[in-house]
Structure 1
Amino acid sequence: MLIKNPKSKFGNLLIINLLNSNAAFSFFNYIFLGERLNETDKDAILKHEMVHVKEKHTFDLLFFEVMRIFFWFNPLVYMYQNRIMTLHEFIADQQAVKHQDKTQYYQNLLSQVFQTQNISFINPFFKQSLIKKRIVMLQKSKSKQVKLFKYGLLIPIIFGMLVYTSSYGQEKDKSEDQEKTPQPPTSIEVIKFDTHKDYSNEVEVPFAVVEEVPIFKGCEDLNSSEEKRKCTSNKIQELVGKNFNTSIASENGLTGRQRITVLFKISAEGNIVDAQARAPHPALEKEAVRVVNTLPKMLPGKQKGKNVMVPYSLPIVFVVSDTDETTNPIDISTSFETTKETEKIMDDVEVPFAVIEHVPIFPGCEDLASNDEKKRCASDKIQEFVAKNFNKDIASEKGLVGRQRITTMFKINTEGNIVDVQSRAPHPALEEETIRVVKLLPKMQPGKQKGREVVVPYSLPIVFVVQD
């Protein structure tokens, strides 16, 4: 622009006449005026732009350009830059209108073709987004000096806010980095199983092995636990057999032998919860769940003197004749689990390590007297073995840093062997290493419930820290 367009001096100002343009703006001591501007209008525009030069508005705009470079993410920079540009125009208009009638000045603003480019660091005379605001402002009376002083305070206030926001963000990032910086590990930590803690309310103990079964109303006065177990089972079977609507099967076109398996739980408060059913037809499933949910509240089951959740499985079997719509009644004596059938499934029952009567015994713990001592000993031995054999260097080799947590689950079967090992870790390599170490555990004496060997699930959290 400086080279191609004619120039003229006006005091310490350099005026550039823009060829084939009606634009008008200023930059430092340079004032750019389009040659297409009306000669009468040029005088008012020149006075307007001279105010920009005199007030050094270009420095304000350049200041905000620098702020946008360093604080590009902060919307306040853009907002206040627009506010400052508007303020500049108000100030220049106020001075320029002193030498010209306001009405004529309005016409100058409205009669031009706005061709000025949207450049954020110049002071354009014609800018569409500001025209309305400028006209409105021209109609207002002059502000008091104290208000102008307040406007002047915007710059240091904005700068202070930006600096504070930036420094706060950096300090926050620094503190987060410090928090994330792991401390040097001394050894791998296997979270110990608290053998003194009462886990009874946190586990489910199957009906077949719970020490004190849930008691159906009417079975309370029986003497032995086995009598109460049988009575409760019979009462459940009797109520379900009485209330189940077997005609639903024929209504849905089913014939022959129908078998439904119902699973539900008797909560620690004695309520029926989580009832589910599997049947040849959804209508039968819905009916089975409905009937089971009508079972009355019972006295809850107990393990080691504490109320526990007791899962219960109930098979329902009946026959639908294919010659008519008559359905044979449910045979209670053969279709439901009897006590003998319950005993047959003992080998498949899993009793949690926390509540089992006789825990699996780790080699070296056999001579301890009480079950609690053997439980504590077995837990400590498992933890020591895993901590000693686990290769924690795998984590750093895989690029992991900070606190690492691995959850391992396995079972000690009825022969005392480790089976069904599973692991969840931040990296597959850590899962493989955990499974490898757990499978190295020696054979134990199996756990026992009611004098029979049972499968015992065991959960083992592992935590260690990898230094960055």
Structure 2
Amino acid sequence: MINYIIQVILFQILFLAVYDFFLSKETFFIKNRWYLLSTPIVSFLLPLVKIPTFQKVVSQEYVVYLPEIVLSPEKVIQETSWYPSINYIDVLFSLGVVFFALLFITKLVKIILLIRSCKLDKKDGYTLVLIPNQTKAFSFFNYIFLGNNIPKSQKEQIIAHELVHSKQKHSLDLLLFEFLKIVMWFNPMIFIYQKRITLIHEYISDEVAAKSAPKENYINQLLSNFFQVENIAFINQFYKQTFIKKRIIMMTKNKSKKMNQLKYLLLIPVLGIMLFYTSCANKQESKEISASEKLLIQNQKIKEIELQNIILENKLLKDSIKKLKKEKFYVEKLSDYMKKKLFEEQKSNSKAFEDLGIVTKEERKEVSFMTIDKAPTFPSCDSGDKDCFHKMVQKHFVRNFDAEMPKKLGLSPGRKKVFIGFKVDYNGNVTDVVARAPHPKIKDEVIRVMNALPRMIPGEQDGKKVNVKYSIPFTLFVEDNTKNE
């Protein structure tokens, strides 16, 4: 989801850049209005478009995050969480949506109260709302709000201006961006879009209204008067000081040549680049957890708690686990138990791989192991058997890693994280083994063990052999030797 949002924002930045540099100075106001209305919507749709032809242009490399290898299962079991985790990003997003929704409703109620409390004068095609002791002038759909303190000589020109807003349904444009501001309140591009289209509305109304009177008189009226301005983003206001200079410049500017309309053709290569980018991006590995998957995770947590109680109550079982630890055989026995629990840590681990330089951000975005046609196969496993691959890699690691070596390095007791990355290339060879560890000797030992992996049967996608990158989080528990003395 975050990847989708980032793409939407980037596309909107690109569309706005094209508008500001090439189109904003032209007098094609109606076309610019539709440009500003359509491009933010297109930005939401483009990331969903995948063109297979583009996907085949770029060779794909897959990244897989294997289940974590853990030494000292007792301590892992004791760290089982008794409380459900909270997704603070979702909470923050929801609070933002509620806040901006309430802000919108408050402003809408303010307009409704003005309509109900002020004198109404129904005209042909619109309703004039007369606001006592005010110099406000703005419109909202077919309602034109006019302060009683505005001189009568100016009211006719203001009404003519606001009628253009009313007839061309400019309020609908502004409400669209109000809705987008609610659902994407964190996106600054939406606010910029709304400001741009508000200015376009004024250009359109000025162009029409100035035809009914000498243009010089209309400009002088803008310069010589100051009206109160409502702080409401989805109304069309006759007077907004920040726009006055730009409106006057545009009114005095010569009409753009029709040849300049060719600038809109810039959208063709821009859209092509965007489609190429979205099509080449693989589907995200992580999927939304369904209700059934959540239930499975809950059941697994219950089983973990039950196992914890058994371990704490049964001294014999505790001694048995310690014995398995000394024989370096416990991971194979507990791998099935740990598999689902450790899956929850894979997302945070994947970010850690990126921060440590083992996996780049681009590689992490291209994770798509779940959609690969045929995964690499460990020599003793059935073709494409992912679970068997994971188990055999873990088994190889436990059997070959010198578990006594970390105890001799003088490391502080506690949990130590090691990150391992390697690639099964299109020939089945294990290459590019990298690791980050709390001690150089541990790093060298990890690389030695992983380089000793046998040659695999390579993975395939669309009938072609492809490279597949793997990343394994490895947790090592260093005991406090002083307690044993």
TM-score (norm 1): 0.39
Structure whose CA Rg is larger: 1
Task: Give the helix-richer structure, 1 or 2.
Answer: 2
TM-score (norm 2): 0.37
Task: Give the strand-richer structure, 1 or 2.
Answer: 1
